[in-house]
């Protein structure tokens, strides 16, 4: 991992990205890294824009806000359009397959069927956890074990097995993509 990774998880309200940001930050702490998490969402409870930001660092974090994300996760076209212009030069984009990305984009792009995996294989409510599984496999910025622990610490009781399956499904989908 670079000394500091700035991550923005973005999509629509109700997709669980705020929780995903909290889980990611906790996983970093379990890996004995420094982490800061912040969030923002529109006034709409569901459907409005939503984002969570996480800074993960091996060293002290001097400023608590994401300025130029190294990783942008976008589950909706609107969130991608809104945040793509703020990316660092060497940024990674992880987007749902429904998001249209320009052919001439200069960033590394990973398009995955994140929402479809959740909807078809599991339940739509775990799209955020599917996304975290893919994120971990692509970036490696936190360990899978710490991420799984953080997921299980945060999800509602009785949903642990479903969420473990969601994490594994996202991880596998990213692994399959990377193997191509």
Q: Looking at residue 66, what is its pLDDT?
A: 93
pLDDT in the model for residue 60: 93
pLDDT per residue as tens digits for the range 28-49: 999 999 999 998 766 555 566 7
| Model pLDDT, residue 46 | 58
Q: Taking phi first (over 0 means left), then psi (-120 to 50 degrees means alpha), and beta for anything else, what does residue 14 get?
A: left
For residue 20, which of 52, 50, 42, 57 has the smallest C-alpha distance?
Answer: 52
Q: CA-CA distance, 62 to 5, in Å (whole number)?
A: 13
Q: What is the overall mean pLDDT for the chain?
A: 92
Which domains are assigned to the chain?
4-179 (3.40.920.10)
Residue 109, CA distances (Å) to 26, 84, 102, 119 in order: 26, 12, 10, 22
Alpha helix positions (H), the chain:
17-30, 77-83, 114-116, 127-139, 144-154, 160-179
């Amino acid at each position: 991992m670079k000394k500091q990774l700035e991550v923005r998880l973005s999509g629509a309200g109700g997709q669980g990205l705020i929780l995903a940001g909290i889980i990611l930050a906790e996983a970093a702490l379990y890996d004995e890294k420094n982490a800061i998490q912040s969030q923002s969402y529109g006034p709409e409870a569901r459907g409005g824009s939503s984002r969570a930001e996480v800074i993960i660092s091996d060293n002290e974090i001097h400023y608590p806000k994401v300025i130029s994300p190294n990783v942008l996760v976008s589950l909706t076209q609107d969130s991608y359009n809104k945040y793509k212009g703020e990316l660092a030069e060497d940024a990674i984009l992880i987007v749902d397959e429904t998001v249209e990305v320009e052919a001439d984009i200069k960033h590394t792009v990973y398009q995955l069927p994140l929402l479809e995996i959740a909807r078809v294989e599991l339940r739509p409510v775990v799209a955020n956890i599917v996304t975290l599984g893919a994120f971990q496999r692509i970036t490696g910025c936190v360990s899978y074990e710490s991420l799984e622990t953080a997921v299980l610490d945060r999800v509602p009781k009785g949903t642990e097995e479903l969420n473990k399956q969601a994490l594994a499904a996202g991880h596998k989908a990213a692994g399959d993509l990377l193997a191509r």
